[in-house]
Amino acid sequence: MSSQSGGYYLPEPSRWPIVGSIGIFFLAFGAVLTMNAVAGGWYVVLVGALVMTYMLFGWFGAVIGESESGKYNEQVDVSFRWSMSWFIFSEVMFFAAFFGALFYMRVLSVPWLSDADTGSLLWDGFVASWPTDGPGVESKFTPMGAWGLPAINTSLLLTSGVTITVAHWALKEGRRGLLNWFMFLTIALGVVFLGLQVLEYIHGYRDLDLTLESGAYGATFYMLTGFHGFHVTLGTVMLIVIWLRGVKGHFKPEAHFGFEGVAWYWHFVDVVWLGLFIFVYWL
């Protein structure tokens, strides 16, 4: 039995961490095998993914159960807030690495390739510009324009930031119907965003000859938008969980950190997108 020690909730021994470690080992090792074209690699990935899913259901289920049975006091709530904030900060730093790569290439390394010192030695006659696939890659791509799908996607995500705030307000006011509908709306906006992103990638690969292999621009474009899309996917799954919990009657107007944590994450995804829209698509 877990103890309520000194007013702080201490969970009993748990098997979920070790399940997660086993899952992640299979996931990582399977990915290695698959990337090196070893037969059966996909099955290892699949096993890892299933074990991880089992762990996530079990672990989050346990936490939700403890939360709903009122085991978490105010101090635990503060702990959740600190930890979620710094987790999001670590995510920001992950994106910072890729934004850093983008700025470095755009501002420094690509111009260096056409300056008088190195340009004439390596690729004489290469003229630096952006977007570029570099001096040595044979491809003819068209850059992704900012004012078609990306602009629509920007408005979708910004709107979803508003709808989740309305849902939060409804939760605090005790208007559960409104909460559920606006959560549903937020999820719908996230899903439509992801659908449009898929269409954009198809457009890029099929019509614009823009691929991961299209040099510096292709790499930064797909890696930045791809990791962002992955985070939107995660955020949407989190929103769905919170939506279903809301429908089941979870959360109280004064205690609902599960909801707020997901909302913070969703706003973080939103802000990263604005950075992407400005620096990847627009400028």
Return the number of the residue (43 or 86) whose C-beta is nearest another protein.
Answer: 86
Residue 91 beta carbon to another protein: minimum distance, rounded to whole angstroms: 7
Return the number of the residue (243 or 268) whose C-beta is nearest another protein.
Answer: 268
Residue 228 beta carbon to another protein: minimum distance, rounded to whole angstroms: 13
**Three-point CA angle 126, 130, 133, nearest 5°:** 60
Residue 261 beta carbon to another protein: minimum distance, rounded to whole angstroms: 13
Q: According to CB under 8 A, which residues from 28 to 87 bind another protein? A: 28-29, 31-32, 35-36, 38, 59, 75, 78-79, 82-83, 86-87
Quick note: the x/- pattern for another protein over 85-104, rule CB under 8 A, is -xx-xxx-xx-xxx-xx--x
Q: Which stretch binds another protein (CB under 8 A): 15-23, 156-164, 167-175, 267-275?
A: 15-23
Distance between CA atoms of 262 and 258, rounded to whole angstroms? 6
Residue 27 beta carbon to another protein: minimum distance, rounded to whole angstroms: 9
Residue 129 beta carbon to another protein: minimum distance, rounded to whole angstroms: 10
Backbone angles phi, psi at 255, to 5 degrees: -140, 105
Query: Over the chain, what HEC string results?
Result: CCEEECCEEECCCCCHHHHHHHHHHHHHHHHHHHHCCCCCHHHHHHHHHHHHHHHHHHHHHHHHHHHHCCCCCHHHHHHHHHHHHHHHHHHHHHHHHHHHHHHHHHHHHHHHHCCCCCHHHHCCCCCCCCCCCCCCCCCCCCCCCCCCHHHHHHHHHHHHHHHHHHHHHHHHHCCHHHHHHHHHHHHHHHHHHHHHHHHHHHHHHHCCCCCCCCHHHHHHHHHHHHHHHHHHHHHHHHHHHHHHHHHCCCCECCECHHHHHHHHHHHHHHHHHHHHHHHHHHC
Q: Which stretch binds another protein (CB under 8 A): 128-136, 185-193, 201-209, 264-272?
A: 128-136
Q: Which stretch binds another protein (CB under 8 A): 149-157, 182-190, 207-215, 257-265?
A: 207-215
Residue 40 beta carbon to another protein: minimum distance, rounded to whole angstroms: 14
Site for another protein contains 234 (CB under 8 A): no
**The binder of another protein chosen from 219, 232, 269, 276 (CB under 8 A):** 219
Cis peptide before 11 (omega within 30 of 0): no
Residue 39 beta carbon to another protein: minimum distance, rounded to whole angstroms: 14
**If you search the block for the tokens 């600190």, which residue do you land on?**
82
Residue 145 beta carbon to another protein: minimum distance, rounded to whole angstroms: 20
Enumerate binding residues for another protein (CB under 8 A): 1, 3-8, 10-18, 20-22, 24-25, 28-29, 31-32, 35-36, 38, 59, 75, 78-79, 82-83, 86-87, 89-91, 93-94, 96-98, 100-101, 104-105, 108-110, 112-113, 122, 132-137, 211-213, 215-219, 222-223
